[in-house]
Amino acid sequence: MSKQEDKNSFENLEYIESYLAGTLKSVEPPKDFSQRLRKRIRIPTREELVSRLRDWKRLYIIFGSVMAGMLMIITIARSLYYLFGHKKIV
């Protein structure tokens, strides 16, 4: 075996391995990290929110409900005006 091969053998690299073993040790995440992250990943992502906005059926229902509600309020307000407010003016 040549000197170069000997220098590059695993046996002669053991000192680096021992340094790596002392340096690359398992690090524990902060104690509350796991819980914080658990809460965080249950929050809908941006993509999910965008996909909800692209749900046309749901949007039509929401839009229709809002319009129906507004019409109902206007109708009730007008009828109350004709029943009570109109007489006072006359």
Asked if 19 interacts with other proteins (CB under 8 A), we say yes
Position among 5, 47, 54, 57 found at the interface with other proteins (CB under 8 A): 47
Question: In this chain, which of 48, 58, 60, 61 binds other proteins, going by CB under 8 A?
Answer: 48
> Could you give the CA distance from residue 18 to residue 76 in angstroms, rounded to a whole number?
83
How long a stretch of residues is the chain?
90
Contact status, residue 6 vs residue 12, Cβ threshold 8 Å:
yes
Of positions 1, 3, 11, 21, contacts other proteins by CB under 8 A: 21
Of 15-23, 52-60, 65-73, 75-83, the window that binds other proteins (rule: CB under 8 A) is 15-23
- Answer yes or no: are the C-beta atoms of 54 and 48 closer than 8 Å: no
Give min distance, CB of 50 to other proteins, in A.
12
Contact between 75 and other proteins by CB under 8 A: the answer reads no
Half-sphere exposure of 40 (CA within 13 A, CB side): 6
What torsion, rounded to 10 degrees, do the Cα atoms 36, 41, 45, 48 define?
-150
Interacting residue ranges for other proteins, rule: CB under 8 A: 8, 10, 13, 15-30, 33-34, 37-38, 40-42, 45, 47-48
